Amino acid sequence: MNAVSRGKADERRLGWYLCAPAALVMLLVTGWPIIYSVLLSLQRYDLRFPDKRSWIGFANYGTVLTSGFWWNSVWVTVLITVVSVVIELVLGMAIAIVMYRTIWGRGFVRTVVLIPYGIVTVAAAYGWFYAWTPGTGWLANLLPSGNAPLTEHWPAIFIIIIAEIWKTTPFMALLLMAGLALVPEDTLSAASMDGATAWQRFRLVTVPLMKPAIVSALLFRMLDAFRIFDNIYILTNGANNTSSVSIIAYHNLIGGLNLGIGSTMSVLIFIIVALIAFVFVKGLGASAPGGTR
Amino acid sequence: MGRNVRWSIINVVVILYALIPVVWIASLSFKDPSSITDGSFIPNKWTWSNYSGIFKNDDFVRGLINSIGIGVISTVIAILIGMMAAYAVARLEFPGKNLVLGVSLLISMFPQISLVTPLFQIERSLGLFDTWLGLIIPYITFALPLTIFTLSNFFREIPWDLEKAAKMDGATSAQAFRMVIAPLATPGVVTTAILAFIVCWNDFLFSISLTSTTRARTAPATISFFTGSSQFEDPTGSIAAAAVVITIPIVLFVLFFQRRIVSGLTSGAVKG
């Protein structure tokens, strides 16, 4: 009895020791900056005028929340997130089924699909940028001449969404493929014998059984899409009202050197992301990929 | 239409989807400066000059060295401390285990931009701004969640009883680890290291925000500074060639480790 509980205490202590370095790094590198950025957000702090630094309460929040640029970037981010994630879900499901079911070349198809997943976003974004640059680009040349899609609001948003979808659908497809593997073949063939068509089998058997995988893939991609930065930075750098929240916060920091406003935006973005995660976890019972329940 | 033909067509569609944008950027990188604005999908005049040009550019070479160095160091450290945590999560019972997983989960979804503003200021006051360490620290942090999840899933699948069996057959603990457990764990560790390296290699936001010179700026950020610089009258070919160069490691990983990368990425998702 005594030996058992001592063994347990040892196991506990070993568990804590082994987790301590990782937990410390993660908490220090994210926890302290978050607290610090809340503090910065309550100050007037512009690096161009460091003498004027002072505590100003929630004035920065007032400034940001009444700014048309901020709300436009929120709207652009939400639009890009929702449209790209919905399309990725459909396209990702199709690709997942192909990777899972195709009768030849399965390994090759999976290998090729991993390339967009792994490619550096900036590299891919330059590919899209030049493809849509008039004169240089093979896609721009398909348009009537005189069109420069990246310099107009809606065409630019459209191209940003395409770039985002192309790059991240494979990841969605991989997560969904893991869900497909959960559907027992017996159930599918039983449904088939009962006369269910392929579409009915998919809708009534496969989708309900892989719902956890779908919800966690959606949550993960939503939060990932909401952070969109690289693609927009390369494609438009926020011109013509195509800034996402990450882009506008970046410009306030690096371009504007305004730590107060930049931090306020950081805190607001963090709150929005936390809200999305909360809604998913509470409302849909999501657990992110890798989560154990 | 036979099943074979139908699946062949579907396969080709998926392959074209994945490859056309990659082939386009590669094609652009092989175009001669005189034909770079002709807009054709396949180069009309081929050249290697874009590649020889970027490797003569000190900034780009420096960026590559930074990318490789920072990426490798971050990956090694993340794997070391992530492996300890993953072992504990997979093998031991202790209170706070779910907290470790929960924190990792939060960080994997954390908006990086929310860290950039405070880190910019903190690193400037600590003298870490524009240094390798200044990038290694956030890279480790964002590689850790993936490392812990993926490795603990791999560790759960190792038949640990073999260790006991080896000891009963007379092996010492060290021998049992070296000859039984280490070989079983290596594939999972290698896979996780590749995934963690891809995370670091891909970063752009931290690299442009937390550096101001070529001292620590990684390759993706360096490329974004090619625009309009005096060395390059028209940066298109150089940017395309540089984009291809930083894509090559990814293509190699994917070619050699496809099966493992897929199992690493999907192992966690299955449990839903």
Mutate one of B13, B24, B64, B113 to test the A interface: name it (highest A CB count within 10 A).
B113
Please state whether beta strands A54-55 and A43-44 pair in parallel, antiparallel, or not at all (unpaired): antiparallel
The answer as to whether A28 is a domain residue is: yes
Tokens (6 digits) for B53? 């040009």
3-state secondary structure of B46: strand
The angle formed by the CA atoms of residues B165, B168 and B172, to the nearest 5 degrees, is 100
The answer as to whether B52 is a domain residue is: no
Domain that holds residue B12: 1-47
Q: For position B272, what pLDDT does the model report?
A: 33
Amino acid at the residue B96: G
In a structure prediction context, what are the per-residue pLDDT tens digits for chain B, which is 272 residues long? 688 888 999 999 999 999 999 999 999 999 988 888 888 899 998 999 999 989 998 999 999 999 999 999 999 999 999 999 999 999 888 888 888 888 888 888 888 998 998 899 899 999 999 999 999 999 999 999 999 999 998 898 888 888 888 888 888 888 888 888 888 889 899 999 999 999 999 999 999 999 999 999 999 999 998 864 445 567 899 999 999 999 999 999 998 998 888 888 877 554 43
* ipTM for the whole complex: 0.91
The answer as to whether A156 is a domain residue is: yes
Number of residues assigned to chain B: 272
Residues of A in contact with B29 (CB under 8 A): none
CB spacing of A166 vs B3 below 8 angstroms: no
Residues B36 and B67 in one domain: no
Amino acid at the residue B206: F
pLDDT at A173 over 70: yes
Q: For position A291, what pLDDT does the model report?
A: 41
- Is the Cβ of B253 closer than 8 Å to some Cβ of chain A? yes
Residue of A26, A223, A277 lying closest to B104 (CB–CB)? A26
Total CB pairs under 8 A between chain A and B: 329
Q: What percent of chain A has pLDDT over 70?
A: 96
Maximum C-alpha span of chain A: 84
Q: pLDDT by residue (tens digit) across A47-59?
A: 888 888 888 889 9
Residue of B82, B92, B269 lying closest to A14 (CB–CB)? B92
Residues A127 and A191 in one domain: yes
pLDDT, chain A, mean: 89
Amino acid at the residue A69: F
Q: For position A293, what pLDDT does the model report?
A: 34
Residues of B in contact with A30 (CB under 8 A): 107, 110, 115, 141
Q: pLDDT by residue (tens digit) across A111-130?
A: 999 999 999 999 999 999 99
Q: What is the mean pLDDT of residues A222-231?
A: 94
CB spacing of B202 vs A15 below 8 angstroms: no
Residues B7 and B66 in one domain: no
The residues that bridge with B218 in the sheet, in sequence order, are none
Distance CA B242, CA B207 (A): 17
CATH code of the domain in which B258 resides = 1.10.3720.10
pLDDT at A284 over 80: no
Q: For position A292, what pLDDT does the model report?
A: 39
The answer as to whether B142 is a domain residue is: yes
The answer as to whether A178 is a domain residue is: yes
3-state secondary structure of A54: strand
Q: For position A287, what pLDDT does the model report?
A: 57
Helix (H) or strand (E) holding A44: strand A43-44
Residue of A109, A122, A135 lying closest to B14 (CB–CB)? A109
* CA distance, residue B102 to nearest chain A CA (Å): 8
Residues contacting residue B74 through CB under 8 Å, at least 6 positions apart? B135, B136, B139, B140, B143, B196, B200
Residue for token pair 């329940």: A293
> Which B residues 124-163 touch A at CB under 8 Å?
137-138, 140-141, 144-146, 148-150, 153
Residues A265 and A202 in one domain: yes
Residue for token pair 């850790």: B144
Distance CA B55, CA B238 (A): 10
User: Residue B101, class by beta-carbon neighbours within 10 Å (0-12 exposed, 13-18 middle, 19+ buried)?
Assistant: buried
Distance CA A228, CA B62 (A): 27
The answer as to whether A199 is a domain residue is: yes
Distance CA A186, CA A204 (A): 14
CB spacing of A175 vs B269 below 8 angstroms: yes
Q: What pTM, to 2 d.p., does this model score?
A: 0.92
Helical packing angle, A153-180 and A121-131, nearest 10°: 140
The full DSSP string for B143-201 is HHHHHHHHHHHHHHHS-THHHHHHHHTT--HHHHIIIIIHHHHHHHHHHHHHHHHHHHH
- Is the Cβ of B68 closer than 8 Å to some Cβ of chain A? no
Tokens (6 digits) for A81? 């997130």
Residue of A22, A107, A121 lying closest to B144 (CB–CB)? A22
3-state secondary structure of A43: strand
The answer as to whether A231 is a domain residue is: yes
Residues B191 and B87 in one domain: yes
3-state secondary structure of A284: helix
CATH code of the domain in which A173 resides = 1.10.3720.10
Q: For position B61, what pLDDT does the model report?
A: 95
